[in-house]
Homo-oligomer: A and B are copies of this chain.
Amino acid sequence: MPDDRWVPPTVLLAVDLVILTLRQSRLQVLLIQRGIEPYRGALALPGGFLSHDKEDLSAAAHRELSEEAGLGPDELHLEQLGFYGAPERDPRGRVVSAAYLAVAPRLPEPVPGTDASRACWMPVTQALAGESNLAFDHAEILTDGIHRAREKLERSALATAFCGPTFTISELQDVYEAVWGVTLDARNFYRKVQSVDGFIVAAGPTRKNVGGRPARLFRPGPRTILHPPMSRPQGPTSQEAT
């Protein structure tokens, strides 16, 4: 029990980002090759310390998103993921990471020539393979982020955050299949997304393809909660949270 003059310890607060997107029908994450110790040269999630005393946590997340990935706050899903003790992460003191999950639409090329040109997209399976090359406890954070994304696809309209402003139903199905690691029946998928009122709404006529019938375009609708939820097939990707 501390005495009367006891003051609580302070910690360094870092913000780390799990930025997910879909590329080549695979779920991919943005990683940065570290330029400084510790874990110099290893791959890590984008992140950094608070820039100043009063900086809001979500503001810091958006700042990192912009600095390290060139992603603006628009058309982007960002939510809290959790905090991680990460003891002895840095010689400068006790560090606690506040992790955020971001979901970005398909992007033209890996990363623009931003601050961190060492950023790259990598399939999550590869990032987590082989007991991982990721720095710190970032493998755990990434695992939790993927798990969160999988869960939220069921109950929310998060899937549309993986797509651009307009998308086809096939593209949406692609998101579900890649994130969940399953294959879905097209007929049943159509029926489901169409039947949930306000999930997606028609936008424009059609989009031409390389060959095949043009697909209708949709935009995200006002509904953000899916009720009843999309049903996820019992897959090998079942894990327990927290």
Contact = CB atoms under 8 A, between A and B. Distances in A.
Contacts of A10: 10-13, 93
A7 interface: yes
A227 interface: yes
Given A13-B13, A56-B87, 6 more contacts: A8-B92, A11-B50, A58-B85, A151-B155, A156-B240, A225-B240
Interface of A: 2, 7-14, 49-58, 79-80, 82-83, 85, 87, 92-94, 96, 98, 151, 155-156, 224-225, 227-228, 231, 234, 238, 240-242
Contact of A8 (B49, B56, B155, B156): B49
A196 to B, nearest CB: 12
Contacts of A80: 82-83, 242
Each complex incorporates copies of this chain amounting to: 2
The list of the 6 closest CB pairs from A to B, nearest first, reads A8-B49, A10-B10, A79-B242, A9-B53, A11-B13, A83-B83
Chain A contact residues: helix, strand, loop or mixed: loop
B240 A57 contact: no
B238 A50 contact: no
Nearest to A235: B227
A3 to B, nearest CB: 12
Contact of A228 (B55, B82, B225, B231): B231
A242 B13 CA distance: 20
A182 B79 CA distance: 29
Contacts of A82: 80, 82-83
19 contacts: A2-B51, A8-B12, A8-B51, A9-B13, A9-B52, A10-B11, A11-B11, A56-B87, A58-B85, A80-B82, A80-B83, A83-B83, A83-B98, A96-B98, A151-B155, A156-B241, A224-B240, A225-B238, A225-B240
